Amino acid sequence: MPTANWNGNVIANSDDTVVVEGNHYFPPDSVDRALLRESDTRTHCPWKGEAHYLDLVGEGQVLADAAWHYPTPKDAAAEIAGHIAFGKGRDVTIDA
């Protein structure tokens, strides 16, 4: 089961991730939202749309823009709507 970990915490875990460009997108109900806060960062992907970023927060630490999601993806990426991905190599590990 794919699991995302940060700072000794499981932040997401699900058998129902969607893998896009090597990233596991976790369903929203599998993510510990208490460890996330919205960031003002936005980026644009030509085929997925506008990504909204999230900071990981906990135990007095902040990992800025460590996760992202596409609230309203383009049709080609509709399967990741609402799903959350985490930046590997940024103190976040994904065990698949």
CATH code for the domain of 53: 2.170.150.40
Secondary structure class of 80 (helix, strand, coil):
helix
Least confident of 53-57, 66-70, 78-82, 90-94: 90-94
**DSSP assigned state of 15:** S
Q: In what order do the strands lie in the sheet with 18-20?
A: 18-20, 23-26, 84-86, 61-69, 49-58, 36-45
Alpha carbon distance 2, 13 (integer Å): 6
Confidence label for 3 from pLDDT (cuts 50, 70 and 90): very high
Structural domains counted in the chain: 1
Mean pLDDT of the chain: 95
Mean pLDDT, residues 10-21: 96
Alpha carbon distance 75, 85 (integer Å): 18
Q: Residue 26's domain spans which residues?
A: 3-95
